[in-house]
Amino acid sequence: MSHHRLDFLAVNYRYPDGTEALHDLSFSVHHGESVGIIGANGSGKSTLLGCTNGLLMPSSGQVRLAGLPVTAANLDEVRRRVGLVFQDPDDQLFMPTVLEDVAFGPLNLGLSPDLAEARAMEALEAVGADALISRAPRHLSLGQRSAVAIAAVLALQPDVLALDEPAARLDPRSRRRLIRLLAGFQHTKLIASHDLDLVLELCDRVLILDEGRVVADAPTRQILRDQTLLEAHGLELPLTLQGALPDSAPKSANYKPGQFPNSVWHRN
């Protein structure tokens, strides 16, 4: 199936101040894949996610969703099919009540008030937040607001979920609940995160970004067990793997001093 396929084709992005954030990104995310986007601060993770649904438009190159170019002319369709969850839920939640916030997107799609409310309730039940419908988002805990922000995207019934640091600032219980929630979703997912243990649990494949370039693209465990590769790009082994590898464990059989950051590891 290809109807959820997302393609980045030689994508470059430059911010108005001249900062070059993405450099010649070319990769595809296929139907049903869960792909982790990792890298040090400033590597381009959030910029990449912003390009998935037209929040940011490439300076050159093109993003395509199931063959549909992500352009200004196609934004309504693209944003219906790609749900972007921001790192800070307060950037998404602005209505007086939770129910109004989650129903806002479906209403903008032209659904009737009754159908929009039904969509909102279904999404809130999916994230375990249906008891919060009358609450003001600003009075919720961070974990609750994060769940509601995800529900607001789910109510649009997107094909692709793009999540920016979904576990940032969550307490351990809320983080575990979020991981269970995301693991149950059958959507195609892109997850940008510094939480490599979360990526290890949820993603089949990982891209490493460094200075806006894809420098590695391989199955998750291949990348996240490779200490030399991770350290070359400002990352560390996931906590669950630290101390789990013997000193004699191979580290980047293909690595050579000075090889990074200009090389790309491709999936097998």
Is position 200 within any domain?
Answer: yes
Is position 72 within any domain?
Answer: yes
**What is the Cα–Cα distance from 72 to 89, expressed in whole angstroms?**
25
Strand-strand pairing, 6-14 and 20-29 = antiparallel
Is position 118 within any domain?
Answer: no
Domain region containing 217? 6-91+159-232
Is position 47 within any domain?
Answer: yes
Q: What is the pLDDT of residue 249?
A: 47
- E strands present in the chain: 6-14, 20-29, 34-38, 60-65, 68-69, 82-85, 160-164, 188-192, 205-210, 213-219
Q: Give the sheet arrangement for strand 20-29, strand by strand.
A: 20-29, 6-14, 60-65, 68-69
Task: Give the tens place of pLDDT for each residue, 123-158.
Answer: 998 888 889 999 999 999 888 898 899 899 989 989
Q: What is the pLDDT of residue 228?
A: 95
Q: What is the pLDDT of residue 245?
A: 53
Query: Which of the residues in the chain have pLDDT under 50?
Result: 1, 247-268
| Sign of the CA dihedral with 177 first, then 174, 161, and 190 last | negative
Minimal CA–CA distance to 46: which of 10, 7, 15, 3? 15
What are the Cα distances from residue 80, in Å, to 91, 153, 220?
18, 9, 28
Is position 41 within any domain?
Answer: yes
Is position 71 within any domain?
Answer: yes
**What is the Cα–Cα distance from 186 to 220, expressed in whole angstroms?**
18
Number of domains in the chain: 1
Q: What is the pLDDT of residue 3?
A: 63
Task: Give the tens place of pLDDT for each residue, 69-105.
Answer: 999 999 988 988 999 998 888 888 999 999 999 999 9
CB 59 within 8 A of CB 21: no
- CATH number at 170 reads 3.40.50.300
Q: What is the pLDDT of residue 205?
A: 97
Q: What is the pLDDT of residue 236?
A: 93
Q: What is the pLDDT of residue 261?
A: 38
Is position 58 within any domain?
Answer: yes
Is position 34 within any domain?
Answer: yes
